[in-house]
Amino acid sequence: MHVHILGICGTFMGGIAALAKAAGHRVTGSDQQVYPPMSDQLRALGIELVEGYDPAQLNPVPDVVVIGNALSRGNPAVEAVLNQGIAYTSGPRWLAEHVLRDRWVLAIAGTHGKTTTSSMLAWILDYAALNPGFLIGGVPANFGVTARLGDEPFFVVEADEYDTAFFDKRSKFVHYLPRTLVLNNLEFDHADIFADLDAIKWQFHQLMRTVPSQGLVVSNGAESELDDMLDQGCWTPVQRFGGVECPQAQWQARPLCADCTEFEVLHKGQVITRVQGTMPGRHNMNNALAAMLAARHAGVELPTAAEAMAQFRGVKRRLELLGKPAGVTVYDDFAHHPTAITESLAALRARVGKQRILAVLEPRSNTMKQGVHKDQLADALDAADLVWAMQPEGIQWSLASALSPLGDRARVETEVDELVARVVAEARRGDHVLVMSNGGFGGLHGKLLSQLEQSASGRAG
């Protein structure tokens, strides 16, 4: 089968391409911007890539065109598909029909923590010699790829609530039919497609309707919005997890150190196993517990899962250490929602104690650009000693006003180079710089590392 993918360079669609290639199909694709690293990964797999959406790419006619959710009516290639009557589908639908059918699907859903928890779960299953397939919206360091076909029956999928395609406005995750479902949390996000939190809950409830009665739902017991959604109807056994401060959770994690990398797993108050993890933060402790419980449903004993977690190497862009130029430690993080920003800063603060944290934020998501969370930004960033933020283009609200409660600790810039220069001028040995963005941030990461190194060389000279 010849599979042609429109919008192939996104993480999800690139993963679909890799899975299709591994399944033996001929795969081609196009995107508006074909650039590394995804373009390099795809070409290494032998996938032909085209820049742009000229309809000529559909000649000869593929057997099916998989259309990414970033594309809409008016796109030249989309219009050609419709006008010529070429068979087409969405990424989630193709995944469901060609990969997930007859597999034991373990899906990770929620506003935050999906990528990390999915990566942890895939690694636990792999450590237990089950060789799972997976499709994850990030790069787990233990695997170095976002997707693989793996062996039957297990397949781990990051279950995103974003819409499927221009012709299917249901959330992606309703296509996956999981047997094991993890629910991490439920907050308002994606304001570009959801009117309010109730609209998101409705989609989550459609997901609940697909989980079999002999399956398992692993749900965060501290999240009242999840309980409210489950109360709308649940036909599957539910196991709740949380910290020891969460009495409604049958499964609890009790931290044994300040940054929560070491913790005990308790079941109804009884210690079952001890975990020496690698990713700091209470949220990552809970992510690990959720992954361990999902793996337990697939037959992996908790002590084995604990052994796996000791060898988990993290996920790119999740408190990822980029380097220590001039004694300044620089991290990259995907946080772009106030809750995620708060948790990432709390995790880093627990690890570094009283050493200075310099937070650098790009409010890039559609929700953030609309100003939905602007009143929560200052509180989310309060744990940082100094804050720099990039004013997004074309927004109708003032980032400086939103950060004004932080006083002179917060600075707003409009140019990446100027922002980098100011951080470099302020940073000193022993500081920790946390860069938070769900995009490329105009190459800020590389510029910051380079100029910190140059600054140190200049001072040494």
Highest mean pLDDT among 41-55, 80-94, 245-259, 310-324: 80-94
**Beta-ladder partners of 155:** 105, 133
State pLDDT tens for residues 113-170: 899 999 999 999 999 999 999 999 888 999 999 999 999 999 999 999 999 999 999 9
Q: Is residue 314 part of a domain?
A: no
- What's the mean pLDDT when you consider all of the chain? 92
My answer on whether 121 and 259 are in the same domain is: yes
Q: Which helix (H) or strand (E) holds 76?
A: helix 76-84
Report how far apart, in Å, the C-alpha atoms of 434 and of each of 85, 318, 350, 428 are. Answer: 49, 11, 14, 14
Cα separation, 333 vs 319, whole angstroms: 5
For the cut 90, the answer to whether the pLDDT of residue 456 exceeds it is no
Structure-block tokens of residue 245: 């401060």
Cα separation, 251 vs 278, whole angstroms: 20
Cα separation, 133 vs 189, whole angstroms: 28
Tokens 């919005």, residue located:
225
My answer on whether 108 and 178 are in the same domain is: yes
346 neighbors 379 (Cβ within 8 angstroms): no
DSSP secondary structure, 77-104, as one string: HHHHHHHHT--EEEHHHHHIIIIITTSE
My answer on whether 268 and 291 are in the same domain is: yes
Tally of structural domains, the chain: 3
**CATH number assigned to the domain comprising residue 59:** 3.40.50.720
List phi, psi (to 5°) of 180.
Answer: -120, 125
Mean pLDDT value across residues 323-349: 89
Mean pLDDT value across residues 281-286: 91
Residue 36 confidence (pLDDT): 65
Q: Is residue 97 part of a domain?
A: no
Residue 459 confidence (pLDDT): 56
Collapsing DSSP states into helix, strand and coil, what is residue 240?
strand
Three-class HEC string of 273-308:
EEEECCCCCHHHHHHHHHHHHHHHHCCCCHHHHHHH
My answer on whether 229 and 342 are in the same domain is: no
My answer on whether 82 and 155 are in the same domain is: no
Collapsing DSSP states into helix, strand and coil, what is residue 163?
strand
Examine the fold and report which residue of 31, 56, 90 is the final residue of a domain before the chain moves on: 90
Residue 457 confidence (pLDDT): 61
Q: Is residue 152 part of a domain?
A: yes
Report how far apart, in Å, the C-alpha atoms of 88 and of each of 29, 63, 66 are. Answer: 13, 9, 6
Examine the fold and report which residue of 249, 276, 309 is the final residue of a domain before the chain moves on: 309
Q: Is residue 84 part of a domain?
A: yes
8 neighbors 43 (Cβ within 8 angstroms): no
Cα separation, 225 vs 205, whole angstroms: 12
My answer on whether 294 and 237 are in the same domain is: yes
Highest mean pLDDT among 95-99, 403-407, 417-421: 95-99
Q: Is residue 96 part of a domain?
A: no
224 neighbors 191 (Cβ within 8 angstroms): no
State pLDDT tens for residues 178-226: 999 999 989 877 767 888 889 999 999 999 999 999 999 999 999 999 9
297: CB partners within 8 A, 6+ apart:
106, 180, 216, 218
Question: Could you say which DSSP state residue 34 is in?
Answer: -
429: CB partners within 8 A, 6+ apart:
326, 327, 328
Q: Which helix (H) or strand (E) holds 27?
A: strand 26-31
pTM given for the model: 0.88
Enumerate the H helices of 209-337 as residue ranges: 224-231, 282-297, 302-309
Examine the fold and report which residue of 309, 334, 361 is the final residue of a domain before the chain moves on: 309
My answer on whether 127 and 247 are in the same domain is: yes
329-333: strand order across its sheet: 320-323, 329-333, 432-436, 357-361, 386-390, 410-413
My answer on whether 240 and 353 are in the same domain is: no
Q: Given pLDDT bands bounded at 50, 70 and 90, which one contains residue 336?
A: confident
My answer on whether 146 and 46 are in the same domain is: no
Q: Which domain range does residue 252 map to?
A: 102-309
In this structure, which amino acid lies at residue 118?
Answer: S
Peptide bond into 255 cis (omega under 30): no
Report how far apart, in Å, the C-alpha atoms of 343 and of each of 70, 278, 382, 441 are. Answer: 29, 16, 11, 21
For the cut 50, the answer to whether the pLDDT of residue 461 exceeds it is no
**CATH number assigned to the domain comprising residue 119:** 3.40.1190.10
Residue 194 confidence (pLDDT): 82
Q: Is residue 278 part of a domain?
A: yes
Cα separation, 61 vs 54, whole angstroms: 13
**Beta-ladder partners of 65:** 4, 88
My answer on whether 120 and 187 are in the same domain is: yes
My answer on whether 117 and 49 are in the same domain is: no
b/e per residue, 58-80, with b = 16+ CB within 10 A? beeebebbbbbbbbeeebebbeb
My answer on whether 241 and 141 are in the same domain is: yes
**CATH number assigned to the domain comprising residue 386:** 3.90.190.20
